[in-house]
Every structure is written in structure tokens, then in C-alpha cells.
Structure 1
Amino acid sequence: MSFRLGLIINPLAGVGGSVALKGSDGAEVARQALELGAVPRAQERTRAALEPLQGMDLEVLTWAGDMGGDLACEMGFATRVLGQANSVPSSAQDTCSAARALLEARVDLVLFAGGDGTARNICETLGERIPVLGVPAGVKIHSGVYALTPQAAGQLVAMLVQGELVSIEEQEVRDLDEEAFRAGQVRARFYGEMRVPSEHRYLQHVKNASNREDESLVLDDIAADFVDQMEPDILYLMGSGSTVAAIMAELGLDNTLLGVDAVLDGEVIAADCTAKQLLELTQGRDVRIVITLIGGQGHIIGRGNQQLSAELLKRVGRDNLHLVATRTKLNALEGRPLIIDSGDAELDRDWSGLVQVHTGYRDAVLYRIAVP
């Protein structure tokens, strides 16, 4: 009997990321993102997850159109469409309806593409009654039900289809208040747990809170060291997170905690930039990108900073990437690598390997970037 794979795509997941909207929950935010020129990426990320499964003995059960049916048919899978969305674009209610239909069809696993809002919808409908796995396609990915990358999701499902022994674990579903998020405040809430196939090479960890330990002195040292080494006539793109915020505080500059700011010669020349703005600002300039990692997960690109597009990363180059983090934050990874999920598989592979991480005043370590 074929493996029965349930598939749900949130077509507009993550559409607000590249245009600095911090998310895409709600029809109005999605509409605004599209008007600003954002391009939906959920289909291409789902395609990357499904590619390792082509040619395998499985049937895809899904919802019509861009919620999964079109892509599954195009990729040549045996596809059974169970229903269709009641609105265009599809809504959270459509996601819930699709999840209920997959539960009733007794699929072996529900593979869904989205962000934390999509995970909430799936959790509210399915709970722990059926195994699920998320393909990361949103701006906010704090929940532990997602694979590290779309490709990792595909590899994990392939293990199940091939009959390999894969453990099942309960993982948390968490989501942020997007309105507070856009105002620079992180308010995460626990919404429940779902059962997820667990293979730690491929599965994401729940994001760690950065305030569990007072490391203010270490952050001050990192900031002082970095500011000492900043050069004139260099455009610095300052990413999100508290470690980068410490550098901005050392410079005496206002900081977009959950965005990307452009700094030139000690001044902010553009705040909370979109992907398009960053490409315009960096044209013909000498550029450095300054970022930290997501605590507990290890992602440095592709989580909350989609403004740093693959096109921008190629233009700036790996040698001009500056990573800043405390040793405590690195130790919390327990040896797991740093992850780049840029949406460009070739770039992700090219940027793998050892990278220097600034960890204190005149202090740095080498840490590994790897593709799961």
C-alpha cells in the first residue's frame, strides 16, 4: 500500500518578510505585502521539500490549486484532491478545512508549508491525533514542528516512505503577536503540541529566549570590539536580534530590533529596510552584513531576516558576513551547525564551512555552517 502523504500549502506564507512587514498573518497584511512587490515563496519551498520524494511509492492527498493540488500534479505525483478553498487567496479557515479532510482520509503524515500562524491552525484542528511536519515558509518560525529547511523536510519524509525507523516526539507550537512584533516587542505564546517525526539532523528546535541569562557585560564587550573595528566609507547592514542591538547602542544609534538598518560612517541612513531597498542601497558600495544566530535553532539567514535576499548575499559575499554571538548562545546549540536557508540551494552549499564568530572583546571562535 502506498504511503499517503497529506499536503497543505499556505500560499501567502512569509510574503511579508522581504518587505519588512514582520509576517503575513491576515488578508490585509498579505495584500499590503503584495502591493509592495513581495513575491510569494511557499510554492518553491514546498517544491524543494517534495523533490526528494519523486519516484517513490506514495500518494499525495491535498486541497485544490495553490494549496497543494497544482504543484503535486505538476511534479508527477499520484494526487487526490479532497476539496478547495472557499476564498482567494485562501484563509486560515481553508487551512483548517483541509487539515480536517486529511484527518478523515487517514493520511500517514500531514506535510504543511507555512509559518507559526499556519502551525497554529493545524494544531487547533489536528492536535496530537496525526503526525505532522512543517516546511518552513513563514517569517516567524518559533515552533518546534518545522524541519530546518525545505530540503531537510523532504529527507525526513523520505525516511518514513522508505520504512526507516524514525522516532515520533511531541513538539511545541508557538506564535508571536505580529502587532507587537512590528513594534519591536517579542511576545511568544504556547498554543499546544503536535506529534512530529524526530531526526535531530533535520528537525528544528524551539527558539530559546535570549533573556534567560544576564549576559549584558559580554554583549558590551562584543559591541565595543566590533565598533573599534568599523571602517569609514563602509556600508554596514545591521540585522535583527539583541546582540546586534548592543552594537547599535554602542554607536548611540536607534535600532530596529526586528529589522535591518543601514549604517554608514556612524549614521543610520535607512531603517527597517526591505529587500528591494537593500539592493538599491548596496549598488556599487563596499558592504558588510552584521547578524547573529537564533538562539537554540542556529539559523543565521532565512528566519526573520528575509530582507537579506540571496541576490544581496551573492553581491556582498561570504567574506563580508560578520557573525556576532556569545559563547553561551553557541554552546546552547550542543554542537549543531549554523544554518543558512536563503532559498537558493547553491548559495547555501557554497556558504557552508567554518566561519568566524565574534564572541567578545578581541575574542572569536570558528563555528561550522552546514546544510542539513
Structure 2
Amino acid sequence: MKIKNSEMKKIGFLINPVAGMGGKVALKGTDGQYERALELGAEPVAEKKAAEFVRALDLSEIMFFTAGGLMGEGLLKSTGTARYKVVFNPNNPTSAEDTKKACLMMLKAGVEMIVFCGGDGTARDVVSATGDKVPLLGIPSGVKMFSGIFALTPKTGADIVNRFPDLSIVKTEVMDIDEEEYRKGRLKTVIFAEAKVPLIPQKSQGGKWVSSGSDERNRKEIGRFLAEILSDDTLYLIGAGTTAKSILDELGLSGYTLLGIDALFSGRLIGRDLSERDILKLLEGHKKAKIIISPIGAQGFILGRGNQQFSPEVLRKTGTENIIIAATNAKLMMTKELFIDTGDMDLNRSFPDSVQVICGDCMAQRVKIQKPGQ
């Protein structure tokens, strides 16, 4: 039966075209860094994530209200079947103000929900314009995604929209992160606002869990154990966070980047705050390489959030079997499953269904891995 426009879901749809471009080039965000990201060879990623989301939607039930050009119109037009109306025409290049103005026009058009494709910066701009007037849903494509407003993957975001409005609506936090401090290796987060989100269990991510310091001793145990298993002939690529970096503390090394990717070889730091290109160059000169990473708080993401420098090309060169995962017991209590979203479905499928996570001195727990499409 053909659905009348009046019976269709009225969904606001917005893409931040520059979101996520700073990831592979180690900018830790693209706010105010668009030109710099282009100079470093960054490529757009948001529209690809948005396309994954749209492909998984039941388009026959949706009337979109969107912004012009790269902010939504172009992708919806390319489907050939999506019904949409352009309610705002942005500048080129787009800005935070364009995001806010587009959202205000979507509200004026009477949308029931706004779906945006971006990261924490985009989430902050969206909620600053909409408040809690309608439910919001983020399709993850940024560098930083600590807020609880995001679906786990584009496909799970589509699952949520396909079931809307027959869902519970809950409130979650939108985090405000200072990108300038973040680039200096200092994570300063505050709850910027609360937003309403449609909820399906396991389909939207929790906010970042922040350590209270009670697991500091556990983290030192992990650092000692990792230091003991080092090989002098292996390049170690150390991911972000205090747990992954505990190995460097144990070795007495300083000057590392807490929120970046650093390289360790034969007991020395040979690279700091590496981009994807930097990592690939290092891999050319080392026959053996391993990656050491830790999950992001209660979200459980080990790849695809805040460490896009570990791109599919990097992961194929190192081998997925050469990834070491470490987490404190306190973090594992909050993280029942691990998640990956490398952006490459074949690569995602190559990961095992569960992995050992180092959680102490000669201690490990086996934790299940969730992959996009599961």
C-alpha cells in the first residue's frame, strides 16, 4: 500500500561534510582545522558513513527534511527513491552556524527526529539549536565520539530510525570537548547538555566512563606486564589513553602523547602523535609490529573511535592477530563487550568473535567482540 506523505515519518537529516577528516592525519578533530586537514591529505569520510546509514533505511516510510548540497541533499538525491525537502542552503565550506541554522529550519518544518552524521562537535552544535524539542540521533563519523547520543554504527542507526517512533525515548549526555586541549594531550570534558534519544538496547553507545583513580595500581600492574613481554625487534604502536600508555610510564619514558599514537622500538620512543601516513612509513622499515590499545570507557570501542590513524591499510599491514588489548578490571566491569568499526566490512569480519584482554600482571579476561552488521 502506498504511504501518504502525511503518514510518513518526518526526519531531519544532516551531514557535517568535514566531520572525521582530522582522524587519520592525527588532528584529533576538525573544528577549525579543515584547511589544515586538506593540506595533510585528509579525505572526506562523513558522506560515506551517511551512505551506509541511508542504504539500510526503509525509505518508503520516510520524508526527509535536509540541508542543501553536501549537507544532505546530494546523498538523498543520489538514491533516486528518497523523498526529501531542502529547508536550508549552507555556505561553502560549511560551518557550525550552518548546522545550527539547518536544525532550526528542520524544527520549523515539524520534524519528529533529527539524525546527524558527525562527531561530538556536530552533536554540540545540533543540541545547542534544538535543545530537547525532538529526539536526536548521531551517525558516527567524527574523530571524537564520547557522547551517548551516537548509534554504534551507521547500520544500527538505521535500525533505530526504521523502528521509530515505536521506541522508548531516554535522555543522554552530550559531551563538550576542548579540541585545542585535546590536541595537546589533555582531555577536558564537561556535559554540555542533555538530549533525548530513541533507545534500542545495544544500539546506541554509552557516554565515556571516566576513571576515578581507584584503578591506578591495576594500571601500573598492566604496564609492568606489558614491559616484560616486549621484544627488541618489534615496533610497538601505542594507542591513546592511560592504560595503553602505562607501558611507557613503566619504562620511564616521557614526552608521549596521551591521546595520540606513539611508536616504541627497542625501548625508545621513535615517533609521537603519528598520523596514518607516519605509521605506514614506519611499518615499511620494520618487519615486525604490534599495536597496543585500550577500550574507550564504557563504550567499549577499541577501533573506530578516536584512533582512526589505525586505518584498514595499517591494520592489514600489522595483522589483526598482532593487536594487544589492555584494560583495568574496573573498566572491564563497565565494558561487557568490545566494539570495532574500522570502516571496512571485510576487515571487520576478519576479527575473532572474542579476544583476550590483559587486565593485570599475567592476568587476562576473554571478552566478546561486536562488529558492524552483527
**Where on the TM-score scale, by shorter chain, does this alignment land: which range?**
over 0.9
| Structure 1 pair 177–55 and aligned structure 2 pair: CA distance change class (3 A) | closer
What TM-score, normalized by structure 2, do the two folds share?
0.94
Greater Cα shift, 32-41 or 53-62: 53-62
User: Structure 1 residue 352: deviation in Å?
Assistant: 4.5
Q: Report the Cα distance in structure 1 between the residues aligned to 2:275 and 2:107, rounded to whole angstroms.
A: 39
RMSD of aligned alpha carbons? 1.3
Residue 291 of structure 2 is matched in structure 1 by 289
Residue 326 of structure 2 is matched in structure 1 by 324
Residue 277 of structure 2 is matched in structure 1 by 276
Residue 302 of structure 1 is matched in structure 2 by 304
1:21-60 aligned at under 5 Å gives the runs 21-26=27-32, 29-60=33-64
Q: Report the Cα distance in structure 1 between the residues aligned to 2:15 and 2:57, rounded to whole angstroms.
A: 17
Q: Report the Cα distance in structure 1 between the residues aligned to 2:253 and 2:79, rounded to whole angstroms.
A: 49
Q: Report the Cα distance in structure 2 between the residues aligned to 1:349 and 1:199, rounded to whole angstroms.
A: 23
Residue 129 of structure 1 is matched in structure 2 by 133
Partner of residue 94 from structure 1, selected from 89, 95, 98: 98
Residue 80 of structure 1 is matched in structure 2 by 85
The structure 1 segments of at least 4 consecutive aligned residues displaced by more than 3 Å after TM superposition are none
Residue 358 of structure 2 is matched in structure 1 by 358
1:64 aligns with 2:64: no
1:20 aligns with 2:21: no
1:172-183 aligned at under 5 Å gives the runs 172-183=173-184
1:142-161 aligned at under 5 Å gives the runs 142-160=146-164
1:234 aligns with 2:234: yes
CA offsets 1:244-283 (integer angstroms, 9 cap, x no match): 1211111222221000011111111111100111112112
Give the aligned residue type for 1:78: R
Give the aligned residue type for 2:215: E
Q: Report the Cα distance in structure 2 between the residues aligned to 1:352 and 1:41, rounded to whole angstroms.
A: 26
The answer to whether the Cα contact below 8 Å between 1:54 and 1:75 also exists between their aligned partners in 2 is no
CA offsets 1:296-327 (integer angstroms, 9 cap, x no match): 11011111111110111122122101001112
Q: Report the Cα distance in structure 2 between the residues aligned to 1:56 and 1:339, rounded to whole angstroms.
A: 31
What TM-score, normalized by structure 1, do the two folds share?
0.95
Residue 11 of structure 1 is matched in structure 2 by 17
CA offsets 1:190-237 (integer angstroms, 9 cap, x no match): 211111001121101010112x14222211111111111111211110
Q: Report the Cα distance in structure 2 between the residues aligned to 1:368 and 1:350, rounded to whole angstroms.
A: 14
Residue 142 of structure 2 is matched in structure 1 by 138
The answer to whether the Cα contact below 8 Å between 2:218 and 2:329 also exists between their aligned partners in 1 is no
Residue 3 of structure 2 is matched in structure 1 by none
SS in 2 for 1:289: strand
CA offsets 1:106-148 (integer angstroms, 9 cap, x no match): 1121110111111111111100001110011111111111111
What 5-or-longer segments of structure 2 have no aligned partner?
1-6
| Structure 1 pair 177–323 and aligned structure 2 pair: CA distance change class (3 A) | same
Residue 4 of structure 2 is matched in structure 1 by none
Residue 344 of structure 1 is matched in structure 2 by 344
SS in 2 for 1:81: strand
What 5-or-longer segments of structure 1 have no aligned partner?
none
Q: Report the Cα distance in structure 1 between the residues aligned to 2:10 and 2:190, rounded to whole angstroms.
A: 32
Q: Report the Cα distance in structure 1 between the residues aligned to 2:351 and 2:111, rounded to whole angstroms.
A: 37
SS in 1 for 2:56: helix
User: Structure 1 residue 345: deviation in Å?
Assistant: 2.2
The answer to whether the Cα contact below 8 Å between 1:11 and 1:42 also exists between their aligned partners in 2 is yes
Q: Report the Cα distance in structure 1 between the residues aligned to 2:178 and 2:88, rounded to whole angstroms.
A: 31
User: Structure 1 residue 238: deviation in Å?
Assistant: 0.4
The answer to whether the Cα contact below 8 Å between 1:352 and 1:370 also exists between their aligned partners in 2 is no
Residue 168 of structure 1 is matched in structure 2 by 169
Give the aligned residue type for 2:191: F
Give the aligned residue type for 1:179: E
SS in 2 for 1:191: strand
User: Structure 1 residue 239: deviation in Å?
Assistant: 0.5
| Number of residue pairs the alignment of both structures matches | 363
SS in 2 for 1:73: helix
The answer to whether the Cα contact below 8 Å between 2:58 and 2:162 also exists between their aligned partners in 1 is no
Give the aligned residue type for 1:328: A
Q: Report the Cα distance in structure 2 between the residues aligned to 1:100 and 1:89, rounded to whole angstroms.
A: 19
The answer to whether the Cα contact below 8 Å between 1:140 and 1:175 also exists between their aligned partners in 2 is no
Give the aligned residue type for 1:189: V
1:213-252 aligned at under 5 Å gives the runs 213-252=213-252
Q: Report the Cα distance in structure 2 between the residues aligned to 1:60 and 1:217, rounded to whole angstroms.
A: 51
The answer to whether the Cα contact below 8 Å between 1:136 and 1:148 also exists between their aligned partners in 2 is yes
1:246-265 aligned at under 5 Å gives the runs 246-254=246-254, 255-265=256-266
User: Structure 1 residue 351: deviation in Å?
Assistant: 1.5
User: Structure 1 residue 2: deviation in Å?
Assistant: 1.5
The answer to whether the Cα contact below 8 Å between 1:260 and 1:272 also exists between their aligned partners in 2 is yes
SS in 2 for 1:307: coil
Q: Report the Cα distance in structure 2 between the residues aligned to 1:245 and 1:203, rounded to whole angstroms.
A: 28
Give the aligned residue type for 2:247: I
